Amino acid sequence: MTPFQNNKTISPNSIPSSPYLHFNKNTWADLRANVPMTLQESDLLAVKGINDNLSLDEVAKIYLPLARLLNLYISSNIRRQTIIEEFIGKQTHKIPYIIGIAGSVAVGKSTTARLLQTLLSEWPEHRHVELLTTDGFLHPNKVLKQRNIMHKKGFPESYDMKGLVQFVSDIKSGKTEVSAPLYSHLIYDIVPNQRKIIKCPDILIIEGLNVLQSGMDYPHELHRVFVSDFVDFSIYVDAEEEFLKQWYIERFLKFRMGAFSDPNSYFHDYAKLPEAEAITIASSVWDNVNAINLNNNILPTKERANLILKKGNNHEIEQVKIRK
């Protein structure tokens, strides 16, 4: 079935002065109706394995239509590459399609990325989908301490932006194997002597706070090329700050029960604290670090995205906006 053979007319709220088409949950969910449901029960279990709190109804209503839209864009990109090959009369290197996912700390970027990886891998044309988090390009704590910016982890100056741009540039040049440093939330630092290796994927999903940032957000950088220059389609995951703070604290408490009890954890001492004190600490880290970064450096990039997913209570998507 072609994308235009709708048996139903979908009518987004088109606000003439807005550069976006607006969809509420129901109008967006209807957009899935045109594709066969390819997911099997076992795939749904895999999706569930990504995040226990993710409802399968949410996957069907929100993430399947999104995967369908992305698939249309990617197919069109593959056709464009074929035209270039036809024009020059020879095959070129396969160039991965890059999807960028931006948004606040704790909004659910990595969960969204893993979910899209599972759904997009279903399509036979592009099964090999890799993930990269820009966290790996944070400067190690040693460097952040030397520069006196440990309290600014996640801010533009805390990243090795040159290294990150080199990475995406290598991927987009068709380099067959690239590697990136690894960040661990457990040790709260870059993992020494380990790298993530990425071998020529069909699609690379890059998620991070800084995916949509550009030159004006990095006045201290000398170069003028940014991740966003290499991203083919960008998504901003959005939510009101009261939810973000709540999700941040909840995740902190979850870590406290699990990962923090590991003696290697940076936050090992927090595991022993009474819950009320742990909440006070998490709340203060949110207010003094992540909220400031959100308002100064992340939120201003929202309108650069091709698509905005607006979450409400319990991570449920309430609105989807697509750039016209």
Ligand X SMILES: CC(C)(CO)[C@@H](O)C(=O)NCCC(=O)O
Ligand Y SMILES: Nc1ncnc2c1ncn2[C@@H]1O[C@H](COP(=O)(O)OP(=O)(O)OP(=O)(O)O)[C@@H](O)[C@H]1O
* Residues in CB range of 212: below 8 A, 6 or more apart: 100, 102, 228, 231, 234, 236, 301, 302, 304, 305
Residue 223 burial (CB count, 10 A) = 11
Q: Does 176 bind ligand Y (CB under 6 A)?
A: no
Contact yes or no for 82/95 (Cβ under 8 A): no
Q: How far is the CB of 290 from ligand X (least distance, A)?
A: 5
Q: Does 160 bind ligand X (CB under 6 A)?
A: no
Q: How far is the CB of 315 from ligand Y (least distance, A)?
A: 3
Q: Does 285 bind ligand X (CB under 6 A)?
A: yes
**Phi, psi torsion values for 184, nearest 5 degrees:** -120, 125
- Side chain identity at residue 44, one-letter code: L
Binding residues for ATP: 103-110
Q: How far apart are CA 62 and CA 60, in angstroms?
A: 6
Q: How far apart are CA 324 and CA 315, in angstroms?
A: 25
Contact partner, 96, from ligand X, ligand Y, none, Cβ < 5-8 Å per class: none
Q: How far apart are CA 182 and CA 115, in angstroms?
A: 20
Q: How far apart are CA 216 and CA 92, in angstroms?
A: 34
> Please, which residue, 135 or 217, has the CB nearer to ligand X?
135
> Please, which residue, 78 or 292, has the CB nearer to ligand X?
292
Q: Does 25 bind ligand Y (CB under 6 A)?
A: no
Residue with the CB atom nearest ligand Y in the bound state:
108
User: Hey, which residues between 211 and 250 contact ligand Y (CB under 6 A)?
Assistant: 247
| Interface segment toward ligand X; rule CB under 6 A; list 67-75, 224-232, 258-266, 282-290 | 282-290
Contact yes or no for 176/202 (Cβ under 8 A): no
> Please, which residue, 73 or 266, has the CB nearer to ligand X?
266
Q: How far apart are CA 239 and CA 200, in angstroms?
A: 33
Among positions 51, 121, 169, 246, the unique one binding ligand Y when judged by CB under 6 A? 51
Q: Does 251 bind ligand Y (CB under 6 A)?
A: yes
> Please, which residue, 97 or 267, has the CB nearer to ligand X?
267
CA 317-320-324 angle, to 5 degrees, is 170
User: Hey, which residues between 197 and 236 contact ligand X (CB under 6 A)?
Assistant: 209
Q: Does 153 bind ligand X (CB under 6 A)?
A: yes
Q: How many chain residues bind ligand X (CB under 6 A)? A: 8
Contact partner, 290, from ligand X, ligand Y, none, Cβ < 5-8 Å per class: ligand X
Helix (H) or strand (E) run with residue 320 in it:
strand 317-323
Among positions 290, 297, 301, 306, the unique one binding ligand X when judged by CB under 6 A? 290
Q: Which parts of the chain fold into alpha helices (H)?
A: 25-30, 41-50, 56-58, 64-88, 109-120, 141-146, 161-172, 241-257, 275-285, 291-293
The gap between the terminal CA atoms of the chain, to the nearest Å, is: 23
Q: Does 54 bind ligand Y (CB under 6 A)?
A: yes
Q: Does 68 bind ligand Y (CB under 6 A)?
A: no
Q: How many chain residues bind ligand Y (CB under 6 A)? A: 15
Distances (CA, A) of 4 to 35, 61, 215: 11, 20, 38
* Residue 96-115 contact track with ligand Y, rule CB under 6 A, x = bound: -------x-xxxxxxx----
Task: Give the footprint of ligand X on this chain (CB under 6 A).
Answer: 105, 135, 153-154, 209, 285, 289-290
Task: Give the footprint of ligand Y on this chain (CB under 6 A).
Answer: 51, 53-54, 103, 105-111, 247, 251, 254, 315
